[in-house]
Structure 1
Amino acid sequence: MRRTAERLADGREIIYFDEGDAVRRPTPDPRDLPPTATGSEMRFDPLLREWVVVASHRQGRTHLPPTDDCPLCPSVDGRRTEVPAPSYDVVAFENRFPSLVPDDGRALEPVGELEPSRRVGEGRCEVLVFGSDHDASFVDLSPRRVRTIMAAWVDRTRALSALPGVEQVFCFENRGPEIGVTLHHPHGQIYAFPFVTPRTERTLDSAEEYRRRTGGDLFADVLRAEQEAKVRVVAQSEHWTAFVPAAARWPVEVHLYPHRRVPDLPALTEAERGDFADLYLDVLRRLDALYDAPLPYIAAWHQAPVRARRDAGALRLEVFSVRRAPGKLKYLAGTESGMGVFINDVTPEAAAQRLREVGP
Structure 2
Amino acid sequence: MHKTVTELADGRELIYYDDGPTVRDAVDARPLEPAASVSEVRVDPFTGDAVTIAAHRQARTYHPPADECPLCPSREGRLSEIPAADYQVAVFENRFPSLADSSAAHVAPWSDGPYALTPGTGRCEVVCFTSDHGASFVDLSEPRARLVLDAWTDRTAELYARPGVRQVYCFENRGAEIGVTLGHPHGQIYAFPFTTPRTALALDRAVAHLAATGRNLYDDVLAAERATAGKPDSRVVLAGEHWTAFVPFAARWPYEVHLYPNRRAADLTALDDDARAEFPRVYLDLLRRFDRLFPEPAPYIAAWHQTPRPAATELALHLELFTLRRTADKLKYLAGTESGMGAFMNDVRPETAARTLREL
* Contact preservation (8 Å) 1:169, 1:306: no
- Secondary structure at 1:29 match in 2: coil
1:352 and 2:330 matched: no
Match of 1:276 in 2: 279
- Note if contact 1:73-1:81 (Cα within 8 Å) is conserved in structure 2: yes
Tell me the residue number matched to 1:10: 10
1:33-48 pair list within 5 angstroms:
33-48=32-47
Alignment of 1:179-328 (within 5 A): 179-230=178-229, 231-307=234-310, 309-328=311-330
Alpha-carbon distance in 2 for matches of 1:243, 1:162: 32
Structure 1 residues 116, 105: closer, same or farther in 2, change over 3 A? Answer: farther
Q: Aligned letter for 2:162?
A: L
| Distance (Å, rounded) in 1 between the aligned partners of 2:75 and 2:106 | 39
State the Cα deviation string for residues 170-192 of structure 1 (Å, max 9, x = none): 00000000000000100000000
3-state SS in 1 of match to 2:105: coil
Q: Distance in 1 between matches of 2:247 and 2:350?
A: 6
1-structure distance, mates of 2:144, 2:109:
47
CA distance in 2, matches of 1:292, 1:141: 20
Give the length in aligned residue pairs: 355
For residues 20-169 of structure 1, the aligned pairs below 5 Å read 20-22=20-22, 24-102=23-101, 103-108=103-108, 110=110, 113-115=112-114, 117-169=116-168
Report the Cα offset of residue 106 of structure 1.
2.4
Partners of 1:135 and 1:107 in 2: CA distance: 40
State the Cα distance separating 1:38 from its structure 2 match.
Answer: 1.8
The CA RMSD over aligned residues, in Å, is 1.2
Residue by residue over 1:51-86, the C-alpha shift from the partner in whole angstroms, topping out at 9 and shown as x without a partner, is 100101000100000000000000011110000011
Is contact 1:234-1:355 (8 Å) kept? yes
Distance 1:245 1:262 in 2: 19
Q: Percent identity?
A: 57
For residues 132-191 of structure 1, give each alpha carbon's deviation from its aligned partner in whole angstroms, at most 9, with x where no partner exists: 000000111111011000000000000000111000000000000000000010000000
**CA distance in 1: counterparts of 2:341 and 2:244, whole angstroms:** 32
Residue type at the aligned position of 2:185: P
Change (3 A) 1:322 1:25: closer
* Unaligned stretches of 5+ residues in structure 2: none
TM-score scaled to structure 2, two decimals?
Answer: 0.96
* Paired letter, 1:54: I
Which runs of at least 4 in structure 1 moved beyond 6 Å after TM superposition? none
- If the length of structure 1 is used for normalisation, what is the TM-score? 0.96
Q: Where in structure 1 are there 5+ consecutive unaligned residues?
A: none
Report Cα offsets for 1:223-281 as digits up to 9, x if no partner.
01011122110011110000001110000100000000010000012221120110000
